[in-house]
Amino acid sequence: GQSLEQPSEVTAVEGAIVQINCTYQTSGFYGLSWYQQHDGGAPTFLSYNGLDGLEETGRFSSFLSRSDSYGYLLLQELQMKDSASYFCAPKGTGGFKTIFGAGTRLFVKA
Amino acid sequence: NAGVTQTPKFQVLKTGQSMTLQCAQDMNHNSMYWYRQDPGMGLRLIYYSASEGTTDKGEVPNGYNVSRLNKREFSLRLESAAPSQTSVYFCASSEGISLNTEAFFGQGTRLTVV
């Protein structure tokens, strides 16, 4: 079967670092994507990990461990505009479709 | 630079009515998707089309049909709308379903069934 687990909510202060964890189970696995969605908006792509390790894109980094079926998104130097929902989305075989979970709602406080 | 365009943006239907949600992309992408998003449920895949001429069911296909009209367009049809289909619907596209490629989303259709 397929499953995804992310924390439902995370709260952090402006300027801090926050890590959003994701564990997944899919029928086959290609890689793990992360998307950001602001209230009322469409999801937008943040990063993709096809291999184990850390990928860095500016203030955001994403990590993958295939052996642990685990990944995380790291947001540094948090800004108020980072308040949004963050979705991990594993891409698996069996149709190669990308599955999204319920997401993690991040609240950034001043 | 339109990307993925969905129409309409808002719609109210009565139970039992039918309608078609339209989606078009101008990025020459092979793969297209329809998701629905309900509060606290994240995005759930309804149907997808890996390439022109093919469609497959996702997680929640019941009550929906799709048509991949051509490479650009992928429509979602509700034959007999039900209140449980009240949701925000997102169309997305990506270059290739088996490649490391990001999905681009439309701005969504907010559908209410009364």
Q: How much is the pLDDT for A27?
A: 74
Q: How much is the pLDDT for A55?
A: 93
CA neighbor of B98 nearest in space, from A48, A28, A97: A97
In three-state secondary structure terms, B18 is coil
Cα-Cα-Cα-Cα torsion A49, A51, A55, A60, nearest 10 degrees, comes to 30
Q: Which residues of B lie inside 8 Å of A (Cβ-Cβ)?
A: 33, 35, 40-45, 48, 50, 56, 58-59, 90, 92, 94, 97-98, 100, 102-108
Q: Per the CB < 8 Å rule, is A102 touching B45?
A: no
pLDDT tens-digit map of B82-96? 999 999 999 999 887
Pairing relationship of beta strands A3-5 and A53-57 according to DSSP bridges: unpaired
For B54, the closest chain A residue by CA position comes to A95
Q: Per the CB < 8 Å rule, is A44 touching B100?
A: no
Burial profile A61-82: b = 16 or more Cβ within 10 angstroms, e = fewer = bbbbeeeebbbbbebeebeeeb
Query: Torsion-angle region of residue A12: left (phi > 0), alpha (psi -120 to 50) or beta?
Result: beta
DSSP structural state of residue B98 = T
Pairing relationship of beta strands B19-25 and A9-13 according to DSSP bridges: unpaired
Facing B100 at nearest CB: one of A35, A50, A95? A50
Q: How far apart are CA B23 and CA A95, in angstroms?
A: 21
Question: pLDDT band for position B42 (50/70/90)?
Answer: confident
Residue B1: partners with Cβ closer than 8 Å, 6 or more residues away: none
Does A95 lie at the interface with B, CB-CB under 8 angstroms? Answer: yes
Q: How much is the pLDDT for B98?
A: 56
Angle CA B33–A24–A56, to nearest 5: 80
pLDDT tens-digit map of B46-61? 999 988 999 999 889 9
